Copies of this chain bind each other. A is one copy, B any other.
Amino acid sequence: MTEPAYVAVDWGTSSFRLWLVDRAGKVLAERRSGEGMLAAAKTGFAAVLQAHLAAVEAPDHLPVLICGMAGAKTGWVEAGYVDTPAPLAAILKQAARVPGEARDIRILPGIAQRDAAAPDVMRGEETQLLGALGLQAAGEAMVCMPGTHSKWVHVKDGTVASFSTFMTGELFSVVSRETILSLAVANAEDAEDVSSFRAAVKAAFEAPAFAANLLFGARARQLLFGGTPAAARETLSGTLIGVELAAGLSGAVPKAGITLVASGRLAALYRLAFDTLSVTVQQVEADEAVRRGLSMAAAAIWTK
């Protein structure tokens, strides 16, 4: 086993991931837990981090680089924002040092769009972007990063020109749990229902204003025509994703298509949605992208 060079941490709202990395960028050890910002704000950020560092036997002198909500005002140490137009390279230069710690611990800043007509913020996705596109990416990319708060990012020659956040994942969560649709999707099996999903994506993409009507239709369809809870769930999911795509694809799409930064089930759903609309997609694994972004930043800060 080679010597560890630094520790990389993706510290989100509700998840914590840590990698022990060597000078060449190779992962020597990994930790995952649910101790995101919300949990760590109660138990203490330093204590959470220290426990995971001890578990991977990280030497005392080893520096730690963090991205994500740990850098929010309600996080550990506020790491500020790089404002749009934001060169991805600027992120590396504005990491905030955590004070009062013997160890060199830094948190990468987010990106802010200080446009009164379209205010927006991201924390963590800037590091994913760095890993997905690299520092020197020439040309244009439209990057779709699905999640609780999906981001659509317009990147030009390595600079984030503008971006938009959509509450798609969070809407799916509250609508399926807390509204009349909870009756429709209750006890849905894991089985997919591709045709319901595709139909919903198409309907919502073509008439996004009817989103709140298409959602209710999932319940009315069950009352009048029957249908499985899985079909209702896929209709709900397809409707919300279809509306997001209607907005995201409303501008010019680069020739190379959309860069989809996603993993797992979410990646599969969005690929299916883009396919339904005959839109070309290049997928980048989200988990790898954030680790690669952190590694690039750590290399720039400590191992150059």
Counting CB contacts under 8 A, is A87 at the interface? Answer: no
Counting CB contacts under 8 A, is A243 at the interface? Answer: yes
Counting CB contacts under 8 A, is A138 at the interface? Answer: no
For window 106-146 of A, CB contacts with B under 8 Å fall at 112-114, 116, 118-121
For window 139-198 of A, CB contacts with B under 8 Å fall at 149, 164-168, 170-171, 174-175, 178-180
A119 to B227, CA, bound (A): 12
Counting CB contacts under 8 A, is A250 at the interface? Answer: yes
**Scoring A residues 11 to 31 as 1 if CB is less than 8 Å from chain B, else 0, what string do you get?**
000000000000000000000
Contact B121 A220 (CB under 8 A): yes
Contact B166 A121 (CB under 8 A): no
A212 contacts which chain B residues (CB < 8 A)? 166-168, 171, 240, 243-244, 247
Contact B225 A119 (CB under 8 A): yes
A164 contacts which chain B residues (CB < 8 A)? 210, 213
Counting CB contacts under 8 A, is A217 at the interface? Answer: yes
Counting CB contacts under 8 A, is A301 at the interface? Answer: no
Counting CB contacts under 8 A, is A223 at the interface? Answer: yes
Counting CB contacts under 8 A, is A221 at the interface? Answer: yes
Contact A216 B178 (CB under 8 A): no
Contact A209 B121 (CB under 8 A): no
Q: Which residue of B118, B209, B217 is within 8 Å of A119 (Cβ)?
A: B217
A118 contacts which chain B residues (CB < 8 A)? 217
Contact B116 A225 (CB under 8 A): yes
For window 226-273 of A, CB contacts with B under 8 Å fall at 240, 243-244, 246-247, 250
Counting CB contacts under 8 A, is A4 at the interface? Answer: no
| A215, closest chain B residue (CB) | B167
A229 to B118, CA, bound (A): 18
Counting CB contacts under 8 A, is A207 at the interface? Answer: yes
Q: Show 22 A/B contacts (Cβ-Cβ < 8 Å), sorted by A.
A: A114-B225, A116-B225, A119-B217, A119-B220, A119-B221, A119-B224, A120-B216, A149-B180, A164-B210, A165-B216, A166-B212, A167-B213, A170-B179, A174-B175, A174-B179, A178-B178, A207-B247, A208-B209, A209-B246, A209-B247, A211-B243, A212-B247
